[in-house]
Amino acid sequence: MSGVRVLVGTRKGAFVLTSDGKRERWEVNGPLFGGWEMYHLKGSPVDPNRLYASQSSGWFGQMIQRSNDGGKTWEPVGNKFVYDGVPGTHQWYDGTPHPWEFKRVWHLEPSLNDPDMVYAGVEDAALFRTTDGGQNWEEMPGLRRHGSGPHWAPGAGGMCLHTILIDPSNPKRMFIAISAAGAFRTDDGGTTWQPINKGLRSQHIPDPDAEVGHCVHRLAMHRSRPGTLFMQKHWDVMRSDNGGDQWTEVSGNLPTDFGFVIDVHAHEPETIYVVPIKSDSEHYPPDGKLRVFRSRTGGNDWEALTKGLPQKDCYVNVLRDAMSVDSLDKCGIYFGTSGGQVYASADAGDSWNAIVRDLPPVVSVEVQTLS
């Protein structure tokens, strides 16, 4: 019997939502780590019972928790994130140099083939890796030492490395994204990196076509087509069909092309999902209507998905790590809101139900499809 496990990170703890393959009845477990900010939880693709969680607090700093039994029990592992060598400086909001300072782990990306290897995207932006199940973390310094590093600047939410995509066809290739530096790619397993931001345009920065300085909110990839990437940028929905070498805008008929999340249907690599947000100064859906937009053509042509979602007086946000998909048939789509709802669709977005409505503000949603 198949099943689904949804790992939800919130501002005040983590929740594990489980259902069988029908995805009609849900069990809600939590809060785990109550009172802590849970930026992200994710399971190993090769061992679904091996979970990792980023637990942080403005008081007590960063913890990493690991579960070996699918989230029933947890143990704290290593929390020492120290930049390699002399950290140097990046650009501060006022344009002055500012020392790199570790703040928190935004995203944990387990290896595709080793449950003890995990990548961590952190604020201030850097990429760390563990090869011993989280006990020890080492920076992969080639990214931060890319020549553009001193020019990276934080977005409003901090200078975070929030997206890590591993190419399933080429273990040497990974993609990451940083707000507000942009997207980067390695083709040598993380030793060296290159910015992949050609075609992005960001108004209100000194050079709208600059190599770095773009506020990329999220990248997504279908594992069968790792050369095709989708991006929700601060403004603009973009796609690349050459591993990020060149991007083209596919915002098309979206009511607004600002937003945070973007994801790809598990079985249809040209079917993508976004949640348009009115603007960067308002951070809620247009017209008080919470709508997921789906494109079956890889962008440009979008349809609003509204059945089961509030269509009036709704002013929540959906943050960048708060959408995920399962791999059942039909594909399930999930997202969480700043209002504490976790919505699920068991029919690829045609209709929606709230699994749970009153959690703390949701920061991240990850889905595991269990056999």
Partner 1 sequence: MVRVVLPAHLRTLARVSGDEVQVQLNGCPTLGAVLDAIEASYPVLRGAIRDHVTEKRRPFVRFFACEQDLSHELPNTPLPDAVVSGAEPFLVVGATAGG
The reply to whether 76 sits near partner 1 by the rule CB under 8 A is yes
Interaction of residue 58 with partner 1, rule CB under 8 A: yes
Question: Cα–Cα distance between 196 and 247 in angstroms, integer?
Answer: 9
CB of residue 27 vs partner 1: minimum separation in angstroms?
24
Taking the least distance from each CB to partner 1, the nearer of 77 and 365 is 77
Per CB under 8 A, 68 contacts partner 1 = no
Give the range of 72-80, 89-97, 161-169, 362-370 binding partner 1 by CB under 8 A: 72-80
The Cα–Cα gap between 273 and 264 comes to 6
Q: Which of 22, 27, 29, 80 touches partner 1 by CB under 8 A?
A: 80
Measured CA to CA, the distance from residue 263 to residue 142 in angstroms comes to 28
How far apart CA 76 and CA 32 sit, in angstroms, is: 13
Please state, in angstroms and as integers, the Cα–Cα distance from residue 359 to each residue in 8, 55, 253, 342, 343, following that order.
10, 17, 32, 8, 12
228: closest CA among 171, 179, 297? 297
Number of helices and strands in the chain (H, E): 1, 30
Contact positions with partner 1 (CB under 8 A) in 7-36: 35-36
Least Cβ distance, residue 40 to partner 1 (angstroms): 18
3-state class percentages of the chain: helix first, strand second, coil last, to nearest 5: 5, 40, 55
Q: Which two tokens stand for residue 213?
A: 């300085």
138 near partner 1 (CB under 8 A): no
Cα of first residue to Cα of last residue in the chain, in angstroms, is 6
- Which tokens go with 235? 């403004």
Q: How far is the CB of 96 from partner 1 (least distance, A)?
A: 21
Closest contact distance (angstroms) between CB of 126 and partner 1 is 15
Interface residue with partner 1 among 62, 295, 324, 368 (CB under 8 A) is 62
Minimum separation from the CB atom of position 60 to partner 1 (A): 4
Segment interacting with partner 1 (CB under 8 A) among 61-69, 209-217, 236-244, 350-358:
61-69
Under rule CB under 8 A, residue 86 binds partner 1: no
Stretch that binds partner 1, among 78-86, 141-149, 204-212, 224-232 (CB under 8 A): 78-86
Q: How many residues does the chain have?
A: 371
Residue 358's Cβ-side half-sphere holds a number of Cα atoms within 13 Å equal to 0
- Each residue 34-53 as x (binds partner 1 by CB under 8 A) or -, in order, gives -xx-----------------
Q: Closer CB to partner 1, residue 104 or residue 233?
A: 104
Smallest distance, partner 1 to C-beta of residue 111, A: 24
What's the closest the beta carbon of residue 63 comes to partner 1, in angstroms? 7
Nearer CB in complex with partner 1: 76/189? 76
72 lines the binding site for partner 1 (CB under 8 A): no
Q: Which is nearer to partner 1, 74 or 119 (CB)?
A: 74
Q: Would you say 236 and 225 are in contact if contact means Cβ atoms under 8 Å apart?
A: no
Q: Of 282-301, which residues contact partner 1 (CB under 8 A)?
A: none
Per-residue exposure over 291-326, b if at least 16 CB sit within 10 Å of its own CB, e if not:
bbbbbeebbeebebbbeebbeeebebbbbbbbbbbb
63 touching partner 1, by CB under 8 A? yes
Q: Are 7 and 71 in contact (CB under 8 A)?
A: yes
Asked if 11 contacts 359 with a C-beta cutoff of 8 angstroms, the reply is no
Residue number, 81 or 284, with CB nearest to partner 1: 81
Closer of 199 and 361 to partner 1 (Cβ): 361
State the nearest-atom distance from the C-beta of 34 to partner 1, in Å.
9
| Residues in 306-335 at the binding interface with partner 1, rule: CB under 8 A | none
Distance between CA atoms of residues 214 and 194, nearest Å: 14
Does residue 79 touch partner 1 according to CB under 8 A? yes
| Contact criterion met (CB below 8 Å) for 120 and 105 | yes
Question: Is 60 a residue that touches partner 1 (CB under 8 A)?
Answer: yes
> Which spans of this chain sit near partner 1 (rule: CB under 8 A)?
35-36, 57-63, 76, 79-80, 82
